[in-house]
């Protein structure tokens, strides 16, 4: 949600107060389901009887403290409990056990359109939301022009919000919350649906809030942004805290955990383990979103390395990565040559780059049936917008009649997080040199 604010860590010398504005102590949240409707009634009558209910613990013993003026990012896979935690802090949900204390006005951007009456116009919802937060009619009227200007939805402000697009919802909701002068701002991935211009505007306002000492908690899947924007990060997994600490370090560990995901399901394990030690095969495929091809020649495993042959999950733009693909010829006999290549996609699924051995004029040696091999592709990473990217490796071969056959392609097989020390506002930056010519 925060990809567009720029890549450089904000420059601030914020002297945080030792005051704790949010204290979360042993919070757990349990959801119960029942086999039949009347079992819920029986549970109310006999609370110790649990045989007819199933329990799901969305949060388990969550404890942490937030200081005044801190910016905290909460990261984790879908279903890890991030949104549940924010909703409990805001008071939208009630915890099953544990204690929460907070100090100051909390403003929250949670579910899209939460707190809006769909039948009311935008103007009416502005008055409703502001009144809920304790503002007087006079204060609302004074702030109304500022809200309308920030939301920038034109005449739709006088239309029922049920006619709004998701982007309009976010614009109006964000404008309202910002006008309330919060002490604590909580955002749950709400800006993910905003257009680039509006996200730029919101990021500028985020930085202004930070300078004012506002405490910010937000959930984001944009892990690079968490590392750059936040003081600390909280990594949740399965409703439990895995790590709390300095944001870049926690994000590094989280991304590395994604990098290793799926090893136990790798089709390579057991296929080539007996020969991997002496021909240095890759044996894991971290992720398989989709697999196509005859698999006569099959991908056994893949890996990403730096130029010192260290396995990596992160890279700074402008650096080199080595993408290694191991394969086995299972049954292909009628072919003249093999092609190995890749697609490189951004988080929106757009293909940013691609190449293969034919384009690069590399002739792959003959591979007999049963034979295994590894090919390394050295790739210069350009000045890309920071964020997650994926490699999709592919194997093909030219048959004896000159036709190209796709043998194995794995979509989004491995993740690479691209970091940036330079602001990249678009998809990428071209290396550009300026020359000044003074004409008299």
- Specify the fold of 20-258: Rossmann fold (3.40.50)
pLDDT at 64: 94
Domain 268-419 top-level CATH class: mainly beta
20 vs 265 pLDDT, higher one: 20
List, in order, residues 6 or more apart from 313 with CB less than 8 Å away: 252, 255, 256, 258, 259, 304, 415, 416, 417
Q: State how far the Cα of 402 lies from the Cα of 164, in Å rounded to an integer.
A: 55
Taking each helix axis from N to C end, the angle separating 122-132 and 166-179, rounded to the nearest 10 degrees, works out to 40
What do you get for the CA distance between the two ends of the chain, in Å? 48
Mean pLDDT, to the nearest integer, of 9-20? 49
Q: ∠ at Cα 72 (55, 149), nearest 5°? A: 110
Average pLDDT, the chain: 80
pLDDT at 241: 94
Residue 412: pLDDT over 80? yes
Residue 259: pLDDT over 60? no
* Cβ 231 vs Cβ 245: under 8 Å: no
Q: In what order do the strands lie in the sheet with 232-237?
A: 106-109, 184-188, 215-219, 71-75, 232-237, 240-246
Residue 130: pLDDT over 60? yes
Mean pLDDT, to the nearest integer, of 87-106? 89
pLDDT in tens, 319-335: 899 999 999 999 988 88
Q: ∠ at Cα 416 (412, 419), nearest 5°? A: 145
Mean pLDDT, to the nearest integer, of 10-33? 71
Can you tell me whether residue 276 is helix, strand or coil? helix
pLDDT at 274: 29
pLDDT in tens, 179-202: 778 889 888 876 655 566 676 677
pLDDT at 279: 45
Q: Is 306 exposed, middle or buried (0-12, 13-18, 19+ CB in 10 A)?
A: middle
pLDDT at 266: 34
Can you tell me whether residue 415 is helix, strand or coil? strand
> Which of 3-12, 194-203, 237-246, 387-396 is the least confident region?
3-12
Domain ranges of the chain: 20-258, 268-419
Q: ∠ at Cα 56 (55, 57), nearest 5°? A: 115
Q: Is 91 exposed, middle or buried (0-12, 13-18, 19+ CB in 10 A)?
A: exposed
pLDDT in tens, 345-382: 888 788 889 998 888 888 888 888 888 999 999 999 88
pLDDT at 7: 34
Q: State how far the Cα of 298 lies from the Cα of 372, in Å rounded to an integer.
A: 10
> Which of 104-118, 214-228, 352-366, 425-439 is the least confident region?
104-118
Kindly indicate the confidence band of residue 171, based on its pLDDT and cuts at 50, 70 and 90: confident
Kindly indicate the confidence band of residue 42, based on its pLDDT and cuts at 50, 70 and 90: low
List, in order, residues 6 or more apart from 387 with CB less than 8 Å away: 3, 222, 224, 346, 347, 417, 418
Mean pLDDT, to the nearest integer, of 209-235? 84
Neighbours of 414 (CB within 10 A): 24
Residue 218: pLDDT over 70? yes
Kindly indicate the confidence band of residue 313, based on its pLDDT and cuts at 50, 70 and 90: confident
Mean pLDDT, to the nearest integer, of 113-134? 81
Domains 20-258 and 268-419 share a fold: no
């Amino acid at each position: 949600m925060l990809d567009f604010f720029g890549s450089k860590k904000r420059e601030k010398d914020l002297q945080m107060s030792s005051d704790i504005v949010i204290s979360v102590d042993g919070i757990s949240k349990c959801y119960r389901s029942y086999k039949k409707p009347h079992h819920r009634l029986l549970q109310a009558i006999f609370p110790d009887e649990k045989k007819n209910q199933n329990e799901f613990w969305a949060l388990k013993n969550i404890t942490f403290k937030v200081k005044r003026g801190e910016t905290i990012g909460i990261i984790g896979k879908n279903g890890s409990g991030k949104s549940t935690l924010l909703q409990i802090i805001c008071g939208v949900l009630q915890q099953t056990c544990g204690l929460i204390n907070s100090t100051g006005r909390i403003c929250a951007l949670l579910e899209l359109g939460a707190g809006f009456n769909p039948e009311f116009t935008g103007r009416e919802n502005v008055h409703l939301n502001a009144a809920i937060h304790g503002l007087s009619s006079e204060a609302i009227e004074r702030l109304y022009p500022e809200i309308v200007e920030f939301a920038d939805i034109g005449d739709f402000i006088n239309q029922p919000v049920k006619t709004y697009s998701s982007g309009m919802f976010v614009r109006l909701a964000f404008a309202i919350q910002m006008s309330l002068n919060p002490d604590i701002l909580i955002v749950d991935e709400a800006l993910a649906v905003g257009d680039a211009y509006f996200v730029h505007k919101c990021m500028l306002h985020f930085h202004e809030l930070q300078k004012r000492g506002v405490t910010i908690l937000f959930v984001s899947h944009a892990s690079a942004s968490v590392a750059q924007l936040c003081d600390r990060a909280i990594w949740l997994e399965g409703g439990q805290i895995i790590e709390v600490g300095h944001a870049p370090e926690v994000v590094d560990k989280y991304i590395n955990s994604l990098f290793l995901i799926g090893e136990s399901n790798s089709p390579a394990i057991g296929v080539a383990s007996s020969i991997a030690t002496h021909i240095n095969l890759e044996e894991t495929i971290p992720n398989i979103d989709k697999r196509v091809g005859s698999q006569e020649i099959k991908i056994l495993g893949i890996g990403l390395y730096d130029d010192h042959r260290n396995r990596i999950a992160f890279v700074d733009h402008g650096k080199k990565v080595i993408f290694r693909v191991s394969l086995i010829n299972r049954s292909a006999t009628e072919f003249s040559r093999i092609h190995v290549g890749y697609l490189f996609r951004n988080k929106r699924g757009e293909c940013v780059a691609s190449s293969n051995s034919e384009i690069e004029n590399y002739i792959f040696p003959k591979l007999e049936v049963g034979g295994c091999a590894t090919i390394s592709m050295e790739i210069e990473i350009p000045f890309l917008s920071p964020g997650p990217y994926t490699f999709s490796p592919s194997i093909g071969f030219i048959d004896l009649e000159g036709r190209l056959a796709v043998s194995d392609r794995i979509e989004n097989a491995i993740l690479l997080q691209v970091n940036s020390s330079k602001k990249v506002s678009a998809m990428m930056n071209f290396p550009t040199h300026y020359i000044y010519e003074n004409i008299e």
